[in-house]
Chain A
């Protein structure tokens, strides 16, 4: 066991030595991520002759180089953010990029640009919002901005895949609900901290239950109700599920009262049952989930093709570029995990899941390590958000849960989702930077 010197960091937890070690680990891991990406893009380059293969090779190398530049920038600036999250993100997003090039080089090229924009956003966040604490002061602005951003697509939105949640800007389309997710977490973190005592202890009692007074819970309920209604009108069920799950997770983290979680789950079950009877599109989704083979040519086609992809992938997969994932509808966005499993097999799919699990583990660790309550709650919220989104889409494509259209973070094609998730990463890293843990 190497002795750890404590005297040099008596005034900042985790001194410069620890930070330097962390950045060195990050460098090693990024190097491995680079070799991995290179192998993947070489397969595409050698497999498909002509420009698409060359594009993939260049974009892959450029992506890895961009991640390295972010690393070097942080190293120079003595940034103390977590050292494992950037390499994990690098592997996830370059896997996504490789599969997009393999599926459709045009999507790959656009995704490459979005990754660069996302990394730019990450650097900006780590530079400008390093002292993120002031973010806690504007909670009602978030609530307002969030509501406006969710209302806009209802009136001016474009419908895609049954969900009306895109705004068309000509050059690109923008999905506000991806960014509103971050606002929801910041709003909840700041609101819950302010009213934590009242919510966890309760100010009035109702028999054996002590409940907080309406002033304390009404804003929460209103915010929750508005977001749910909007999402129902936009028919974006997956996003509604993620919002609600994050909401419950954060309330539990803030108050440690199981009652709220149980009550919330009860509400969810009631809501789900009601929407099953009210909305035909919800009913269709449930029916497909219970038996996709009944309507295999129409509504059940997508999930059935996804299941075929898993089946034909087997243990080790068909090999990159060897499968036929093109039959799966929306394979480049929501169902990219099916393509990965078809070509990299169960093993590759498990690898991706393990990476997401480690991401969540690090996120929870960041939340536990920080001394500040707002930061801890925000970190827990961001982690819950990312973990839930990953779980919901992977469970959806494997038919564990009804399939709802959300993106697989960092991997699916889509600029809004990618940039929003890089901003999430930046905020999480800033929280760990402030806690001073280079590791």
Chain B
């Protein structure tokens, strides 16, 4: 009797390990799908509204996609050839369906609505960003989050 019980327990020990793994994977896949739902409807761009340089001109607009780097370096999505701009100056990125602005430890700082950015900050529609001699406006479409803020 005991041996049978022990054998059943031994196999259920192994089985339960896989029940755990199965549930874990199932919920993780669900979570990944939820993430995608959050990020899909997103869309945002930054528009140059004032520029002390020949390039980029006021009115120029850049799609952010998942992430865009603003800086003087070649890899930048928004290229600013300005001695006040760092190679990788700032980035705007998408996370959890929201756009965030982060200063990449630039020498002269990044400003959001005239306040210097320390930690990554959340962007809302019509926010004004300043990098070196260029001023941008953030514009968001898709759904309206916290419109009126």
Segment at the interface with B among A61-69, A344-352, A389-397: A344-352
Residues of the B chain whose Cβ atoms lie less than 8 Å from the Cβ of A373: 102, 104
Which A residues are CB-close (under 8 A) to B87? 197, 201
Contact A13-B10, Cβ < 8 Å, known A36-B17, A46-B5: no
A11 within 8 A of B: yes
Within 8 A of B (CB), among A291-327: 316-317, 319-322
In the complex, what residues of B have CB within 8 A of residue A355's CB? 21
Kindly state whether residue A274 has any CB partner on chain B within 8 Å: no
Number of interface residues of B (CB under 8 A): 47
Bound together, the chains give a CA A33 to CA B17 distance in angstroms of 8
Q: Which residue of B lies closest to A352 (CB)?
A: B17
Is A439 on the interface with B (CB-CB < 8 A)?
Answer: yes
Chain A's closest residue to B122 (CB) is: A11
Question: Which chain B residues border A351 with CB–CB below 8 Å?
Answer: 14, 17-18, 21
Known: A7-B145, A11-B122, A369-B95. A43 touches B21 (CB 8 A): no
B97, CB-defined interface residue at 8 Å: yes
Give the residue of A6, A87, A95 whose beta carbon is less than 8 angstroms from that of B145.
A6
Which residues from B are CB-within-8-Å of A196? 88
Contact with B along A37-78 (1 / 0, CB 8 A): 001101100110000000000000000000000000000000
Chain A contributes a number of interface residues (CB within 8 A of B) equal to 56
B18 to chain A, nearest CB (A): 6
Residues on B with beta carbons closer than 8 Å to the beta carbon of A88: 24
For A14, what are the chain B residues with a Cβ–Cβ distance below 8 Å? 96
* Residue from the list B2, B13, B96, B122 in contact with A36, Cβ < 8 A: B13
How many inter-chain residue pairs (CB < 8 Å) link A and B? 123
Binding-face segment, A24-32, A119-127, A229-237, A408-416:
A24-32
Given A28-B23, A437-B96; A46-B6 close (CB under 8 Å): yes
Q: How far is the CA of A84 from the CA of B30 in the complex (A)?
A: 13
Q: A35 interface residue, CB < 8 Å from B?
A: yes
Q: Which of B113-149 contact A (CB under 8 A)?
A: 119-120, 122, 124, 143, 145-146, 149
Task: Establish whether residues B16 and A10, one from each chain, have CB atoms under 8 Å apart when the complex forms.
Answer: no
> Within 8 Å CB of B100, what residues of A?
371
Interface of A, helix, strand, loop or mixed by DSSP: helix
Contact B20 A33 (CB under 8 A): yes
Contact B146–A439 (Cβ < 8 Å) = no
Q: Smallest Cβ distance from A96 to chain B, in angstroms?
A: 13
In the bound assembly, the distance between CA atoms of A298 and B122 in angstroms comes to 63
Give min CB distance, A129 to chain B, whole Å.
Answer: 17
Report the minimal beta-carbon distance from B134 to chain A, rounded to whole angstroms: 20
Q: Is the CB of B37 within 8 A of A32?
A: no
Taking Cβ atoms with an 8 Å cutoff, the residues of A that contact B are 1, 4, 6-7, 9-11, 13-14, 25, 28-29, 32-33, 35-36, 39-40, 42-43, 46-47, 84, 87-88, 91, 95, 193-194, 196-197, 201, 316-317, 319-322, 344-345, 347-348, 351, 354-355, 358, 361-362, 369, 371-373, 435-437, 439
- Some 24 contacts from A to B, beta carbons below 8 A apart, are A6-B38, A10-B124, A10-B149, A32-B23, A35-B16, A36-B17, A39-B9, A39-B13, A42-B9, A46-B2, A46-B5, A46-B9, A84-B24, A84-B27, A87-B24, A194-B105, A322-B10, A347-B18, A348-B14, A351-B18, A355-B21, A358-B21, A369-B95, A371-B102
Residues of chain B whose beta carbon lies under 8 Å from any beta carbon of chain A: 2, 5-7, 9-14, 16-21, 23-25, 27-28, 31, 34-35, 37-38, 73, 86-88, 93, 95-98, 100, 102, 104-105, 119-120, 122, 124, 143, 145-146, 149
